[in-house]
Amino acid sequence: MATFFSLTAPMGIALGIAITSSYSKHSSTALVVEGVFNSAAAGILIYMSLVDLLAADFNNPKLQTNMKLQLATYIALFLGAGLMSLLAKWA
């Protein structure tokens, strides 16, 4: 997987640079395409964070048996999500 990523990432960057130099950045088609790609990227990031990362952490047997640890984990999760939302609003 790391090899695949290290090979495809530079190709994607080069393709993106080539495409951006060939169209008008302010046309309606370009804005729609950019919005669709940004939405797809955000969806992939949300899916990966919820399914691959959080599910594995929250299914830990140590966490399942300790209520204080569960509460602290949920507080940290919601605090982090809130701070990231605040950062997104500020940026």
User: For each of the chain's 91 residues, which pLDDT tens digit applies?
Assistant: 678 888 888 998 998 888 877 778 788 888 898 899 899 999 998 888 888 888 888 888 888 899 999 999 999 999 998 999 999 888 7
Q: What is the pLDDT of residue 40?
A: 93
**Alpha-carbon distance values, 78 to 9, 46, 58, 65, 75 (Å):** 32, 15, 14, 20, 5
Q: What is the pLDDT of residue 89?
A: 85
Q: What is the pLDDT of residue 76?
A: 94
Q: What is the pLDDT of residue 30?
A: 84
